[in-house]
Structure 1
Amino acid sequence: MSKSYMVPSTDVPGFSNVYRHSRYKDGTHGGNYSDVTTIYELFMAMERIQPNTDFLGTRRFYPESNRYGAYEWLSTTDAARVVDDFGSGLDKIYSTYASQVSSQSSQQPLGIYSNNRAEWILAELSAVRTRRYSVGLADSLGVDVFESDIDASELQVIVCSIDMIPRMLERIHNTPHIKVIISMDRLDCSKPTTVTQAFSIVTTNELKSRADGLGIVVMDMDQVIEIGRVSPTKPKPPTPSDYCTLCFTSGAAGQRKPILATHASLTHAARAAHLSMQRRNATFLANVPLSHIAGRSSIYALMHDLVRVGFPADGAVDNIDDMQVLRPTVVFAFPGQLDRIYKEVSAATVGAGSLAGFLARIGYRSKLRSFRSKGRLTHALWDRITFRKVAQKLGGRVELVITGHAALSGKVQDFLRMSLSCRVIQSYMQTEITGCALMQTLDSTATGIVGVPQPGFDICLRSIPDLGHNVTDAPCPRGELMIRRDDISVSHLDSAYISEYGSSGWLATGDIARLNVDGTFTHLGRISSAIGTLQGQHKTPEYLESVYSEHELVQSVFLHGDECERELVAVVVPNPNKFVPWARQLIAKPHAKLEDLCAIKEVAAAVTELLKAHASRLQVPQTDRISAVHLEPLSFNQVSSEFYTTTSAVRRDVVASYYGPVFDALCQLHDANDAVTVSPSCISDKTFFIKDLKGVSE
């Protein structure tokens, strides 16, 4: 039985049929939450229906011990009061210091620049109270990109944490639109955090004096709130077609682009995710950057039936201590964050060499068999012996983990399912659609899929004959993923919309997908990252990388191929827990270190053969099999922080450029009939080679 609903007679030449959620066959949300059309209405509805309930949680900081304590909560009612007062204060600030409109819109933007914290959400809600829109800012890609984002957004008012003020004042000449900087932290330092420890009344007064000399007004949120209390204004609620936020794409496929998203677009995506997740009274850790749309869309989805949102201490998004204190029931995380949890937990359980590790491995296999056959996530014996302790590391109450924006390895997905005894599902999302368009169903036991269309979304595929992906492929059509819904409404520098299929309004995502026999979709990779080989074939490396990463010796893989190469080659980062003992035994050197093992050509040759055998078992076509590997002892994010975007997507052009000399050497020396050895000094003294090592078996 198909898990998606195929709309009859909707296929036209070059396009597949249209697919929808099986419970929402008319392409709508079925009337659910139809009264909520803006994010402001969503917030006010939550406060009206459930007043005085916990909403935004912050851990109290104790400067004497330099530690954080329990979460302290701002209720829905108190949050509404802050939004009203701060929103009124912003009205006064804008009328006094800022011009009325920008060149982009009749609405005014409000910049928000900080790590995740309650004030981030309060600032955005305060902005939309008077038809303004937020601009999420981050400096993870460098100061030049950060300043370019400010300039492109024409920001005049920015709300930020106190530690961001000095760096903005230092380069204020590069952001000439800025008129007002509002500190989330008190300028009198009377409410200490680890951020304010580096400041005192003396230093903040110096900051204000310096700002005055530059013609910049600096104040804190409490001062703006007091202005609003003294001079309250009436809300001017946004309409569905008003802009709610400006976000920047991650830049994985090249240049970052600003996306102006409407309230209609955000509420549609949030409502769809809520109907799929089916969570009520959730506790949620906001550990995905709020400057990215995924960080907020997950919160908005859960706000439909009340959510307690806890924020990480110090903005440390991978802090396990936060989870143990908050005890969340729902977690959204990028694949890179889940990979780090997997490495830490697996090393202490199934990767351990002790009796406990032996039992954990038996328990894991037992639970996985039960899950595959019966869908069960718990086991009375193995949970008590091993996995309950693992679940406690994340608070012990996690019911659902959702990930998206990049592929999650199947072995990581299954391990987290078994060790946490909870649902772990993948999704497909883009900044342009302000949330998830596809998501695995809660009862899914599969890996390697992004699920089914979300309620209210139309999905189809468009053939890409130049890359050999066609909707006529049997039994599984392939092509560019196309998305449509009534109120996708964003402003994009380079329009991604097309009108080639039926009526206008289809979003061409630039991603390649496959429709599986059961009606689910698999994300194969970006069109822009497809690689060609000497035979004229084009490969989608992201999907193949996820396949090869399933091998127990492998942590991550980067595939490479171009028109001068006969076959695919790869940089492989080994899984140290499995790789080191295996390699030591292979070469009979019981004390060899990881970096030394990676430099031995016989070890890399053996890995190559194991990956070929792995691909053969999974029926990967011969032309998609790796012919040679370069073993990299460091994880890719250790090699260079520039390898990934903020959403954990691989910046393929950066990685390919870094390892370019290796690939160039292979291209020059590769001979289909002869083995060669290449040792490019520009990477390291590690050996990069092509050689068949016969007689090696898994």
Structure 2
Amino acid sequence: MCSFLPPPPRPPGFVRRLKLLTAKSQTLRGQPVKNAPKPCHYRHAAYTDSLVSTIREAPQLKTLYDVWQNSVTKYADNDFLGHRPFNTVAQTYGGYTWETFTQVNQRVNAFGSGIMHLNEVILGNEQLNRWSLGIWSQGRPEWFITEMGCNCYNLISVALYDTLGHDAVEYIVNHADIQIVVASANHIASLLENAEKLPTLKAIVSMDSLHDTVPVPGATSAAQVLRAWGAEKGIKVYDFDEIESLGAEFPRKHLPPHEDEVASLCYTSGTTGQPKGAMLTHKNFIATIGTNREGMNLTKDDVLISFLPLAHIMGRVIDCCLMYAGGKIGYFRGDILLLLEDVAELRPTFFPAVPRLLNRIYAKLVSATIEAPGLVGALARRGVAAKMANLAAGKGVNHPLWDRLLFNKIKMALGGRVQVILTGSAPIAKEVLSFLRIAFGCVVLEGYGSTEGMATATITMADEYIPGHIGCPRPSCELKLVDVPDMKYFSTDKPYPRGEICIRGDTVFKGYFKDDNNTKATIDSQGWLATGDIGFVDSRGCFTIIDRKKNIFKLAQGEYIAPEKIENVLGARCNLVLQIYVHGDSLESTLVSVLIPEPETFLPFANAIVGSSVTAGDAEGISKLCKEPKVILAVTKELEKAGKAGSLRGFEMVKRVHLTTDAFTVDNGMITPTFKVRRPQVAEYFQEQIKAMYEDIRNTSPVAKL
């Protein structure tokens, strides 16, 4: 099972966290640190002499291909990939069915050989390797098989986001020169509809079977329609089984990649401009697996619930770590609303998640425990208080009495076996983090990183009990803080150094595909990756994100505003928020906001204020609640409380809020596929409401009344 290994012996005098590197005491990556240590460089205290770049117990493994061959040999008959098959007759999902490492490897070889035969013989391409293959679906066994087939034949996998809009898909397919896309069946029609805009696309492989039965003699099946449509567009359409059969008939020898070659293009969805293709090498992946082995020891007995998008690097890294360890990966059914049912069926030991999901779990648990009426609520409040006191005192997350009376039942919400919860990709509130630690009685880690750095920069310690930071540097990288004079952040600040966080190490990407300008703007000549995040380092050596360098603006009085930081604070600390956009500009002295309420918490909150009984299915009723002045005022006060809890300054508080059910979606262009707000688009869509809020502020201000 998942456990935590002690790190290598630490330098004398360093109990935990990290060591500040200076010119007098250390060298960096074999090169002396010249002049004074400004900006300061930081490493994990146990790895000050050298950074992790390989898997320590298996340094001979240089590529993902090597890792896979190693795991197939060591864990041949162990179950590896699992999914819940759908019964088309009963219209229900069954329990998890599994394929062993050997069975998956047979499919990898067959599919990889089939794709190579399709490319060379059927499509007539002369380039045998290093070409890009698109993958477009949610996580499932075929996703892994496709990607590992790429690694066996030195191809470049290109993940398409399952929620990408047509424009982004079109751009990526053309930009990466993709001729073959492997996709779930629900995306095939979209590709064919836009075929004229995808001149490089020559073939589509469906992950779902196209061998459906014709229901009526003489009728045309959906599969026949897709194939005929593809033929009309000059695009061949196959299904996964057909490619595997081709590979079995025409097997190919592997073409192992080199460690410095690109394994995958991972496109980042920016809030402005076109996506950028981050070139991630095999060396990047190996360094990331290696650094994750330092401390957290996943084993062949571990079980992972895989639901994070595999188009995002965090999900890919976690699956790779389980692959190396010989553990089991169980994919969810594809519906995030039914995820906890999959969790109950799978009973994972490792539960990686994102704050948005953990916030929902937290809200439900709080409602069922400390906010419950009567004896249940009274007991829960005592139990939570006792365990929180133990946690704050550094006595751990378990309690012999209260676990038996209450918390062992709560653990069953995640299947009862979870030993590690990992969160990342966005900030999580202190109170949520602490509650999850004592509620599930397990290790809860918070990590920080980016696509360009393999989602690997910092992480909290296993025994951490103080929330509100992102931990210390990972063993594979070093960090530094760079001054940002415009925002008044300096590495010489007291009591703690502050500045833009920059990262260096073998987990840092090679650059952006066909984009030298953005590459040079992101990685400097010394290999430092600029993150755009502003942070500080406390006395224990823990980093905390406090601001964002991009998307900043000045208010009329000259104060700098980082709206993303404010949105993160309010979203993490106010359970009424599903989505929020904070608006301001240099012509105004205050901030306003657009908020889409979280139905589960907003409805009882608003109903209690106006004395109504609107239900979740009553769209018109919810819309009316959003327009109620009393409800709007109450929500504004809740945001103010959240802002104070998150230590926002007075000028960072939102003074008005517009409540709406018009959610920000990828389809309407107001968020990216990674749920980042597209600020110009949201501002334009809600321009009348924003104008009205500022008008209301002016009309009700003391100056206006004179």
| TM-score greater than 0.5 by the shorter chain | yes
> Could you tell me which residue of structure 2 aligns to residue 150 of structure 1?
173
> Could you tell me which residue of structure 2 aligns to residue 405 of structure 1?
425
1:365 pairs with 2:423: no
1:330 pairs with 2:344: no
1:185 pairs with 2:208: yes
- The CA deviation string for residues 20-63 of structure 1, in whole angstroms up to 9 with x for no partner, is 11221124228613222211111111112222111111113222
Q: CA RMSD in A?
A: 3.5
Query: C-alpha separation between the residues in 1 aligned to 2:378 and 2:250?
Result: 67
Q: Is the 8 A contact 2:114 2:247 kept in 1?
A: yes
- The CA deviation string for residues 478-518 of structure 1, in whole angstroms up to 9 with x for no partner, is 21110111463423125555699996111111222222232
> Could you tell me which residue of structure 2 aligns to residue 664 of structure 1?
691
> Could you tell me which residue of structure 2 aligns to residue 356 of structure 1?
376
Relative to structure 1, the CA distance from residue 621 to residue 488 in structure 2 (aligned partners, 3 Å threshold; closer, same or farther) is closer
- The CA deviation string for residues 647-684 of structure 1, in whole angstroms up to 9 with x for no partner, is 3444444444444444434545645993599xxxxxxx
1:4 pairs with 2:18: yes
Query: C-alpha separation between the residues in 1 aligned to 2:99 and 2:442?
Result: 28
> Could you tell me which residue of structure 2 aligns to residue 91 of structure 1?
116
| Residue 55 (structure 1) aligned to one of 73, 80, 87 | 80
- Offset of residue 308 of structure 1: 0.5
Q: Is the 8 A contact 2:129 2:153 kept in 1?
A: no
Equivalent position SS for 1:524: strand
Q: Is the 8 A contact 2:83 2:141 kept in 1?
A: yes
- The CA deviation string for residues 185-227 of structure 1, in whole angstroms up to 9 with x for no partner, is 232248x9xxx9xxx9833133223323333222222222222
- The CA deviation string for residues 459-484 of structure 1, in whole angstroms up to 9 with x for no partner, is 01111101111112111222111011
| Residue 264 (structure 2) aligned to one of 234, 245, 259 | 245
Query: C-alpha separation between the residues in 2 aligned to 1:654 and 1:634?
Result: 17
Equivalent position SS for 2:311: coil
Scaled by the length of structure 1, the TM-score of the pair is 0.85
Relative to structure 1, the CA distance from residue 568 to residue 181 in structure 2 (aligned partners, 3 Å threshold; closer, same or farther) is closer
| Residue 115 (structure 1) aligned to one of 138, 152, 164 | 138
Equivalent position SS for 1:70: coil
Matching of residues 67-106 of structure 1 within 5 Å: 67-98=92-123, 100=125
1:628 pairs with 2:655: yes
1:39 pairs with 2:64: yes
Q: Is the 8 A contact 2:150 2:156 kept in 1?
A: yes
Relative to structure 1, the CA distance from residue 546 to residue 89 in structure 2 (aligned partners, 3 Å threshold; closer, same or farther) is closer
- Offset of residue 146 of structure 1: 1.6
1:229 pairs with 2:248: yes
> Could you tell me which residue of structure 2 aligns to residue 209 of structure 1?
228
Query: C-alpha separation between the residues in 2 aligned to 1:8 and 1:327?
Result: 47
- What letter matches 2:61 in structure 1? V
1:419 pairs with 2:424: no
> Could you tell me which residue of structure 1 aligns to residue 286 of structure 2?
267
Query: C-alpha separation between the residues in 1 aligned to 2:687 and 2:389?
Result: 42
- Offset of residue 76 of structure 1: 1.0
> Could you tell me which residue of structure 1 aligns to residue 3 of structure 2?
none
| Residue 561 (structure 2) aligned to one of 526, 539, 542 | 539
Query: C-alpha separation between the residues in 2 aligned to 1:515 and 1:12?
Result: 22
Query: C-alpha separation between the residues in 1 aligned to 2:366 and 2:203?
Result: 48
- What letter matches 2:511 in structure 1? S
Q: Is the 8 A contact 2:180 2:201 kept in 1?
A: yes
Equivalent position SS for 1:528: coil
Q: Is the 8 A contact 1:98 1:156 kept in 2?
A: no
> Could you tell me which residue of structure 1 aligns to residue 617 of structure 2?
none
> Could you tell me which residue of structure 2 aligns to residue 681 of structure 1?
none
> Could you tell me which residue of structure 2 aligns to residue 511 of structure 1?
533
| Residue 307 (structure 2) aligned to one of 263, 267, 287 | 287
Relative to structure 1, the CA distance from residue 312 to residue 149 in structure 2 (aligned partners, 3 Å threshold; closer, same or farther) is same
Relative to structure 1, the CA distance from residue 4 to residue 275 in structure 2 (aligned partners, 3 Å threshold; closer, same or farther) is same
- The CA deviation string for residues 422-467 of structure 1, in whole angstroms up to 9 with x for no partner, is 2222211211112221111211223332211111101011111011
> Could you tell me which residue of structure 2 aligns to residue 645 of structure 1?
672
Query: C-alpha separation between the residues in 2 aligned to 1:396 and 1:407?
Result: 26
Relative to structure 1, the CA distance from residue 408 to residue 66 in structure 2 (aligned partners, 3 Å threshold; closer, same or farther) is same
Identity across matched positions, percent: 30
| Residue 551 (structure 2) aligned to one of 518, 529, 538 | 529
Q: Is the 8 A contact 2:120 2:126 kept in 1?
A: no
Query: C-alpha separation between the residues in 2 aligned to 1:84 and 1:17?
Result: 48
Relative to structure 1, the CA distance from residue 647 to residue 427 in structure 2 (aligned partners, 3 Å threshold; closer, same or farther) is farther
- Offset of residue 168 of structure 1: 2.1
1:26 pairs with 2:49: yes
Query: C-alpha separation between the residues in 1 aligned to 2:519 and 2:43?
Result: 20
Q: Is the 8 A contact 1:484 1:507 kept in 2?
A: yes
- What letter matches 2:531 in structure 1? T
Equivalent position SS for 1:323: helix
Relative to structure 1, the CA distance from residue 419 to residue 201 in structure 2 (aligned partners, 3 Å threshold; closer, same or farther) is farther
- The CA deviation string for residues 353-379 of structure 1, in whole angstroms up to 9 with x for no partner, is 454234333322322222121342223
Query: C-alpha separation between the residues in 2 aligned to 1:583 and 1:89?
Result: 58
- Offset of residue 416 of structure 1: 2.4
- Offset of residue 151 of structure 1: 1.5
Query: C-alpha separation between the residues in 2 aligned to 1:162 and 1:639?
Result: 20
Query: C-alpha separation between the residues in 1 aligned to 2:524 and 2:193?
Result: 53
Query: C-alpha separation between the residues in 2 aligned to 1:145 and 1:315?
Result: 23
Q: Is the 8 A contact 1:97 1:179 kept in 2?
A: no
Relative to structure 1, the CA distance from residue 28 to residue 499 in structure 2 (aligned partners, 3 Å threshold; closer, same or farther) is farther
- What letter matches 1:373 in structure 2? A
- What letter matches 1:342 in structure 2? Y
| Residue 495 (structure 2) aligned to one of 462, 470, 475 | 475
| Residue 304 (structure 1) aligned to one of 313, 316, 324 | 324
Relative to structure 1, the CA distance from residue 97 to residue 481 in structure 2 (aligned partners, 3 Å threshold; closer, same or farther) is farther
Query: C-alpha separation between the residues in 2 aligned to 1:501 and 1:434?
Result: 14
- Offset of residue 156 of structure 1: 0.9
Query: C-alpha separation between the residues in 1 aligned to 2:72 and 2:50?
Result: 29
Q: Is the 8 A contact 1:24 1:30 kept in 2?
A: no
Q: Is the 8 A contact 2:304 2:348 kept in 1?
A: yes
- What letter matches 1:6 in structure 2? L
Relative to structure 1, the CA distance from residue 316 to residue 573 in structure 2 (aligned partners, 3 Å threshold; closer, same or farther) is closer
Query: C-alpha separation between the residues in 1 aligned to 2:567 and 2:385?
Result: 24
Q: Which has the larger displacement, 427-436 or 643-652?
A: 643-652
Structure 2: runs of 5 or more not aligned: 1-14, 24-32, 615-621
Equivalent position SS for 1:272: helix
Q: Is the 8 A contact 2:453 2:507 kept in 1?
A: no
- What letter matches 1:313 in structure 2? R
Scaled by the length of structure 2, the TM-score of the pair is 0.85
Structure 1: runs of 5 or more not aligned: 678-689, 691-698
- The CA deviation string for residues 207-249 of structure 1, in whole angstroms up to 9 with x for no partner, is 2233233332222222222222222221110001111111110
Query: C-alpha separation between the residues in 1 aligned to 2:668 and 2:547?
Result: 22
- The CA deviation string for residues 395-419 of structure 1, in whole angstroms up to 9 with x for no partner, is 1111111122221222332332232
- Offset of residue 637 of structure 1: 5.4
- The CA deviation string for residues 589-619 of structure 1, in whole angstroms up to 9 with x for no partner, is 5548687776555665566567657766776
Q: Is the 8 A contact 2:387 2:399 kept in 1?
A: yes
- What letter matches 1:329 in structure 2? T
Equivalent position SS for 2:269: coil
- Offset of residue 69 of structure 1: 1.4
Q: Is the 8 A contact 1:406 1:647 kept in 2?
A: no
Q: Which has the larger displacement, 462-471 or 167-176?
A: 167-176
